[in-house]
Structure 1
């Protein structure tokens, strides 16, 4: 009797269990649909809502205690300055004029040696912002060209110092204050020599060093001979100047 009654209970409970499973499944589906709807509305609201911080209002009472909530909280960028105004601001600064004056003192001895005249064609390689270009112009040189990987008009044009876009023997003087920074020093030196006429000058500045290091640099300039090497100061930084003259053609 007991086994028969157990079978009857199992048989009777099956429809109830099935009905409960269906109700749970329906409830979960409704819950999922509701969650999806809420999430969709939330995302839509975020996309359509403009942050309050983007709307210019009165200044906050304690700006030093207010952290930015978005990029709109940051102050506006500086207005775009025309190139001539940027250059005027740069060229009138004390740092600029100090560096230009320092370059002038380093380049001035070339005049005494007859290697630099007003009509000389001078090239400044890896000229940065153009301090050396300005210095040569200040010394009276009328034809000065500056090149760098990034241009700084009007003093410096864009060009690769390892592949100069000039004809052979186009200049009387090639100068660089950044020979130490050359990625390929031998190629850098060869290009400087290539664009300088026979009897012209290659003038480089390197970090302060001894005669052995100087000769290592000179050997990279295979078509030039050493004229002089001196200790110089560029804007308070101790450096070594190396002056070379390209050899005259034997033909």
Structure 2
């Protein structure tokens, strides 16, 4: 009786293996004929796009958006233009008035998002601008950990964060502030957009190696925020 059961199980196992092998062969042939045209030629056929790829063919047929074309489209949006104008009036003008920002300044934008501040600085005539965020957004923003910035001490004349939630949402706010101060040269400037409900004494306590020199109100993306400008007093330029 046991021998009969073993033989039956062996036959079932062999049958299942054969079915699985046939299914894989069918899938391979189907993928090859669907994804490519002309007898295996590496030219993708036109396939309908779906929100999520159901097969490898759907994923392969998706277009990769050119970063420069994406940026050109973003620049035409009213929100992008309004944000750039707001940054210029609320941040760049005060920095230039205090002789902290010039066309030759080295500027780092932290928590740069899609790169509005980077683009606005370029438009204002500042050539050396670097944008970083946790997720890159080429061509203006590359990926970097704001808690461990990959730059030398005092590498920048100005470090800017135009995201009002960057400081409060940072995993370690003190480390976030310390990295900004570390990469700002002595005598350089730090410009922050913060929620208007944040106590200024809290900002002063977190940024231990800087002093607040100016505070103003601004509207960014429809929300009123505080723009805080600090002067660094602790890091020599590299």
Q: What is residue 200 of structure 1 aligned with on the other side?
A: 188
Matched, 1:97 2:95: no
TM normalised by structure 1 equals 0.68
Gap regions ≥5 residues in structure 1: 1-21, 57-69
Q: What is residue 130 of structure 2 aligned with on the other side?
A: 145
Q: How does 1:14-163 map to 2 (within 5 A)?
A: 46-49=23-26, 71=54, 77-107=61-91, 108-163=93-148
Residues 86 and 218, structure 2, Cα contact 8 Å, conserved in 1:
no
CA distance in 2, matches of 1:186, 1:100: 28
| CA-CA distance at 1:42 after TM superposition | 5.7
Question: How many positions carry a matched residue from both structures?
Answer: 211
CA distance in 2, matches of 1:138, 1:45: 60
1:140-181 C-alpha deviation (Å, 9 max, x unpaired): 222211122222233223222122222222222111122222
Q: What is residue 62 of structure 1 aligned with on the other side?
A: none
TM normalised by structure 2 equals 0.71
Matched, 1:170 2:155: yes
Secondary structure of 1:133 counterpart: helix
CA distance in 2, matches of 1:155, 1:41: 53
Alpha-carbon distance change, 39 to 184 in structure 1, aligned in 2, over 3 angstroms: closer
CA distance in 2, matches of 1:192, 1:46: 56
CA distance in 1, matches of 2:155, 2:178: 14
Alpha-carbon distance change, 154 to 32 in structure 1, aligned in 2, over 3 angstroms: closer
Higher helix share: 1
- After superposition, the CA RMSD in angstroms is 3.4
Q: What is residue 39 of structure 2 aligned with on the other side?
A: none
Residues 104 and 138, structure 1, Cα contact 8 Å, conserved in 2:
no
Secondary structure of 1:191 counterpart: helix
Alpha-carbon distance change, 237 to 33 in structure 1, aligned in 2, over 3 angstroms: same
Which of structures 1 and 2 has the larger relative contact order (alpha carbons within 8 angstroms, sep 6+)?
2
Q: What is residue 213 of structure 2 aligned with on the other side?
A: 227
Residues 159 and 184, structure 2, Cα contact 8 Å, conserved in 1:
yes
Residues 210 and 234, structure 2, Cα contact 8 Å, conserved in 1:
no
CA distance in 1, matches of 2:152, 2:8: 79
User: Which structure has the bigger radius of gyration?
Assistant: 1
Alpha-carbon distance change, 102 to 48 in structure 1, aligned in 2, over 3 angstroms: same
CA distance in 1, matches of 2:7, 2:185: 88
Gap regions ≥5 residues in structure 2: 35-52
| CA-CA distance at 1:234 after TM superposition | 0.5
